[in-house]
Structure 1
Amino acid sequence: MIRLHWFTVHGVYLLTQFAFTMAGIVAFVSMPLEFNHPISPAIPWGSSALSCFSLFVNTLILSAIFSSQRPNTLMTEESRLNSRRITLLISALFAAGFAAADWAFALSFHKDGSTGPEKAAGVVAGVASFVAVAVMVVDIWKICADASEARAAELFDREQLADVEPFTDS
């Protein structure tokens, strides 16, 4: 169940970051060519660049988590869950940073934006910020679920060792 929620929220996050990239590009391209325009060209350009970087990072994280879902014969269950927890922690930290940056871009677009595409980019940035917070919450939820799964696997291993211990020559 958590796996489905996690992949759904991350899929929606990738879609909102792609929409924010496109909205930033449209806002940059449609800017009027005048020197006294209230919004700096760096804001739409920077928002597009940041959301492209966010897409890249989240695609890497999504592929790492997806590959950790499959059993790996070279890793123990505990090490697989531990590496997945570390990846999820990195994902949550990146999501927090991207949420703050998206919110800052949303405020900049709303405060200084005068054209329709600039206002629309501000709305898309706000939505992307809220979805990034949802990603952070789901990542933390999955970290907790993986921690309990790791504890259960460790208890199972201890039970298995306790069953074998009476038959050893020590």
Structure 2
Amino acid sequence: MRPVNALRTASSSTPGTYGTYAVTATIVTAAAMLGAKAVDTESSWYRELNKPQWQPPPWSFAAVWTPLYASIAWAGGHALQTAQGPTRRRLAASLGANLAVNSAWTWLFFARHSVRAGVAGTVLLDLSNAELIRRTARTDPIAAAALLPYAAWCAFATVLNTAIARRNA
């Protein structure tokens, strides 16, 4: 089942059940694992990139992304339980699309060895984050607030990716 379809199925569950949380956690975990498959910070291509001094060390990315993914799963589950009808379906689709763009960035940057494609991917992710937060805030302001650190980290990633692209043009 595609992530968006799984989220739509979860979004039709009865509000107040843990099934929605289980599905969002599964989908978020799958997106994280799919994206992680492309990451190779030990490749010669990545090691030879001219990176700014303020780039965090490679180990810190897993330390940051783990709680961010947990917050995405929680916020998605919480918001989907609050939303109803077409609003719930659109929210599920927005979350699924966001996770797809999230996973795609690592493939654009690491697998394609393209810092420019990475910039495009992070900009798309920032736009998707804004849309997801806007849509989430309409039905669940608490869940939307839980997504703000994710959006902030992705905005930082855009600045970092852009700096790397400029240094390696």
TM-score, length-scaled by structure 1: 0.51
- Structure 1 segments of 4 or more deviating over 4 A? none
Does residue 76 in structure 1 map to residue 138 in structure 2? no
> Partner residue of 2:148?
136
CA shift in 2, pair 1:48/1:129, >3 Å: farther
Cα deviation for residue 15 of structure 1 reads 1.2
Q: 1:102-125 CA distances to partner (integer Å, 9 max, x unpaired)?
A: 1xxxxxxxxxxxxxxxxxxxxxxx
> Partner residue of 2:95?
58
Mapped contact 2:115–2:161 kept (Cα < 8 A): no
TM-score, length-scaled by structure 2: 0.52
Task: Figure out how many residues of one structure are paired with residues of the other and give that number.
Answer: 105
Q: Distance in 1 between matches of 2:147 and 2:128?
A: 12
Higher helix share: 1
Mapped contact 1:61–1:87 kept (Cα < 8 A): yes
Q: Distance in 2 between matches of 1:148 and 1:137?
A: 16
**Identity rate, percent:** 9
CA shift in 2, pair 1:145/1:67, >3 Å: closer
Which has the higher Rg, Structure 1 or Structure 2?
A: 1
> Partner residue of 1:9?
71
Does residue 150 in structure 1 map to residue 148 in structure 2? no
Cα deviation for residue 153 of structure 1 reads 4.3
Q: Which runs of 5+ in 2 are unaligned?
A: 1-62
CA shift in 2, pair 1:84/1:149, >3 Å: closer
Q: Which of 96, 108, 114 does residue 134 from structure 2 map onto?
A: 96
Q: Which of 75, 82, 86 does residue 49 from structure 1 map onto?
A: 86
TM-align CA RMSD: 2.3
Q: Which runs of 5+ in 1 are unaligned?
A: 22-46, 103-127, 159-170
